[in-house]
Structure 1
Amino acid sequence: MTYTPRAVAGMLGIAPTTLRTWDQRYGLGPSVRTDGGHRRYEDADVDVLRRMVVLTSQGVAASAAAVLARQRPVAPSAGPRAPIDAAEALMAQHDFLDAAKRLDEPAMSGLASALLSGHGVVSAWESVFVPAMVALGELVEHTGEGVEIEHLASASVLHALRGIPRVSEPGVLAALLSCAPDEQHWLPLEALGAALSEEGCTWGNLGARVPAPALCDAAERLRPSVILVWAHRPDLAAQVPLDVLGARSDALVAVAGSGWDDVPLPASVHRPATLTEAIRLVLGRVR
């Protein structure tokens, strides 16, 4: 099966001129040309372009997104996976940070995918990704430079996390994940979602900066088993209507992130302290 450029543009919801630009600038073109020179896209070409659309919609620069879009996610290893030991974790952090400072997206994405495939989401996240991202955040805070490094590193980890196959069975969501209003850091939610995928759970992520009415409406319509809201600052956490969420959906409500440290929580609201605790909370509710 092959597709015309117009058909592909319609499938992806982009303009034909965008498709042509990506072909000319980044080489994201069709694999087939007819005898008359007409471009025809195969399914594999469309998959690459679909990843390109997702990455650019998340704010990744087109040139970086094109590199990441071409990379096929590493398939998870079969059977149980050993956690990353301390020596390997330090080496992986060093390699990831070194690639980040070189703005080497392929190296970061490849390392992230290999860690996820070999050791699973929880071990890779807690042993490598979190320490590395904290180090990059401190670099930006102390020097005022390196924002582009931090953004590309986040995009690389996000790309690898989204390579983990998601469960697409119909039915009640195990978890609905959301950022607090005006909260822009949603990568921890993607890590939780990927870990839930490894456990065979369905989940949805509303993403960054979710207004309170929108979160409540989604909770009422989707009626998930668990609702978890992320915030990294108290002023952002204070905007979340925790008392309304559970009542609107009958879900178990949980919160995560440092923004909740000094925020009084209703007795019914749970607060997992780690990724592992959040996974156990969802699994306990579902199973």
Structure 2
Amino acid sequence: MTYTPRAVAAMLGVSPVTLRTWDQRYGLGPSGRTEGGHRRYRDTDVEVLRRMVALTGQGIAPAAAAELARREPVPRPARSASLLGDEAADAARRGFLTAARRLDEPLMLDLAAKLITDHGVVAAWESVFVPCLVELGEPGRGVEIEHLASSSLLHALRGVPRSSTPGVLAALLSCAPDEQHVLALEALGAALSEKDVLWRNLGARVPARALCDAVARLRPSVTVIWAHRADLAGQVPLRELAEKSDALIAVAGPGWTSVPVPSSVRRPGTLAEAIDLVLSRC
């Protein structure tokens, strides 16, 4: 198939003038012409331009976006994570808790990284990391132990290589205003990286206006907002986000349990459900 410049502009939602500029400045032009010399875009040309549109839409400078768009996406090799059975999960929890109580950060880092490598983020998070954090967070356990364990897990999760394939931003992750707990969002981001999905995390304590501005600028497919208390969840401008953004809005965390949300807002209950939600929109 070949396409006229006007047809390609309509397909991509840009003007023919923009296509001509990208051709002249960055060499992202059609690879074919008719016998009469009229420009014709092939499917491969359109795919490059799709990547260009996505990258510039994420705020990347046109020259850099053009360089990335020209690169052929290289599929990442599938991870061969093994299942984490009950006995293995029990042993992993005991080992991590022992290291945490000893404040042995190097050992916690090693254990967490090995669990992620061998079993994947979801299995490690749900079977080991969350139960350990719950136990360490009980009264009288020592805040220094909980903080060092959380720091070790954060470091291990950020060690998962992120996608380098150009494309549309699949997920924008954000905490509610005044929310400081970011670990669950980091787990979601790491799990999305395993799926070769593009994501960004705005981090803790994101003001309502900053969140709205970021969604409007980055145009993600899905925006996930975390809150662990209802009073923090109540500060999120959900209705404005749902009405003014094309992104699918999702809320996560125990803070949303009793908070009413617009019917269009999704509520993934687990890490696996949040991943499936993002993948369904890719």
TM-score, length basis structure 1: 0.70
Match of 2:272 among 271, 276, 282: 276
Letter in 1 for 2:212: C
Aligned equivalents of 2:209 and 2:122: distance in 1?
A: 32
CA RMSD of aligned residues (A): 1.5
CA contact (8 A) 1:172 1:222 kept: no
Residue 123 of structure 1 aligns with which residue? 123
Rg larger in 1 or in 2? 2
Q: Secondary structure at the match of 1:194?
A: helix
- Residue deviations 1:16-52 (CA, integer Å, cap 9, x gap): xxxxxxxxxxxxxxxxxxxxxxxxxxxxxxxxxxxxx
Match of 2:244 among 248, 271, 274: 248
Letter in 1 for 2:115: L
Q: 1:77 to 1:92 in 2, by over 3 A?
A: farther
CA shift for structure 1 position 128: 0.1
Aligned equivalents of 2:233 and 2:245: distance in 1?
A: 20
Aligned equivalents of 1:146 and 1:207: distance in 2?
A: 25
Q: 1:163 to 1:270 in 2, by over 3 A?
A: same
Q: Secondary structure at the match of 2:249?
A: strand
Match of 1:201 among 182, 197, 202: 197
CA shift for structure 1 position 120: 0.3
- Percent identity over paired residues: 66
- Displacement over 4 Å in runs of 4+: 76-79
CA shift for structure 1 position 244: 1.2
Residue 217 of structure 1 aligns with which residue? 213
Q: For structure 2, list consecutive stretches of 5 or more residues without a partner in the other structure.
A: 1-75
Q: For structure 1, list consecutive stretches of 5 or more residues without a partner in the other structure.
A: 1-75
CA shift for structure 1 position 82: 2.0
Letter in 1 for 2:265: V
Aligned: 1:110 with 2:131: no
Aligned equivalents of 2:99 and 2:235: distance in 1?
A: 37
Q: 1:204 to 1:161 in 2, by over 3 A?
A: same
Q: Secondary structure at the match of 1:221?
A: helix
TM-score, length basis structure 2: 0.71
CA shift for structure 1 position 170: 3.5
Task: Please show how residues 155-166 of structure 1 align to structure 2 within 5 Å.
Answer: 155-166=151-162
CA shift for structure 1 position 168: 2.7
CA contact (8 A) 1:77 1:118 kept: no
CA shift for structure 1 position 171: 3.5
CA shift for structure 1 position 77: 9.7
